Amino acid sequence: MLDRRQLLTRFSAAALFLNGHGSAAWAQGEQNAPLEPPAQPSGEIAPRLLGLNLVTTSPVSDMKHFYGEKLGLPILFEEDKELVVQAGGTEIRFTYTSEANAAPFYHFAFNIPQNKILAARKWQFERTPLFITPENLRDPSFPDDVRHFRRWNAHSVFFWDPAGNVLEYIARHDLGNSADGPFSSEDIHYASEIAFVVDDVPGTATVVQTRFELDQYGWGGEPFWAIGDERGLLLLFKRGRQIGDRLRDRPAPVDVFPTRVEIRGDPVGVFDFPGYPYAIRVLE
């Protein structure tokens, strides 16, 4: 049985991201070794997204300061070019690269207790700026930096990390996960969204839904598609779609960057996106 350090080392994102060997990179390591099951938030079923493996041109020291000190998340592993963070039930690995043509950035979201969006807003605003919300997503009962996703029955806040990743706390009111007390890093339950950027959103959505026996979640169309459920969504963005705060700071068009994800699902195996540096490893 591998210990945690050995497991993290063998599943190094660098093998997949920087060498571009797709599913073969997993085959070279302990392909059948499961991730350690994380503790479950009270009242919730198991998260779907178990691991996010992303690249960054931001120094590891900056990422460690942000995730470990500002957000207060446990640091599982650290080397000069690699950092692994425990975000509730999801392990997030950042691998540093100096070879990228552009600074890679991603969008991922964290589920939080459905009754703590205002507490999360206050807590995060003490640490970073928050995105201003477009008028069509505002809820008059909430501040202007809280977004209301009516079709998903959810409220959220958006912010950046040092690498320019677009992060989100989302309170999904259909989940039975209310919690008492003030907001803290312990209320970051797990990552519930990760975005993949593609050129053909509907076509890719059909392939992904069939492969993983997952349904479309809410509305979907040419610029955006969500697949899965409240405990884990695979998002498809149209390449070039703007993401960010259009009213302040720096909106950015999304682009293709290496992405590896470990999810809980069926059937077990590795799925590569033809033509893209993406892979999804499915665990039981």
What is the predicted pLDDT for the residue at 265?
83
Phi, psi at 5, each rounded to 5°? -65, -45
pLDDT in tens, 121-139: 999 999 999 998 989 999 9
Query: For residue 18, what pLDDT is reported?
Result: 26
**pLDDT of 253:** 81
Task: Determine the topology of domain 4-283 in CATH.
Answer: 2,3-Dihydroxybiphenyl 1,2-Dioxygenase; domain 1 (3.10.180)
Instruction: Give the integer Cα–Cα distance in Å for 73 and 52.
Output: 15
The pLDDT assigned to 61 comes to 97
Ranges of the chain with pLDDT below 50: 1-40, 42, 247
Closest of 261, 67, 245 to residue 161, by C-alpha: 67
Rounded to the nearest integer, the mean pLDDT of the chain is 84
Residue 252 corresponds to which tokens in the numbers above?
């950015």
Question: Which pLDDT score is estimated for 250?
Answer: 56
Task: Determine if the pTM surpasses 0.75.
Answer: yes
Tokens standing for residue 140: 């008059």
75 backbone φψ class: left, alpha, beta (φ>0; ψ -120 to 50): beta
Phi (first) and psi of residue 258, to 5 degrees: -55, 135
State both tokens at 225.
Answer: 């598609």
Q: Write the CA distances from 179 to 4, 19, 38, 67, 110, integer angstroms.
A: 30, 43, 19, 22, 15
* pLDDT single digits (tens) 141-194: 999 999 999 999 999 999 999 999 999 999 999 998 999 999 999 999 999 999
Asked if 154 and 177 touch (Cβ cutoff 8 Å), the reply is no
Peptide bond between residue 113 and the one before it cis (omega within 30 degrees of 0): no
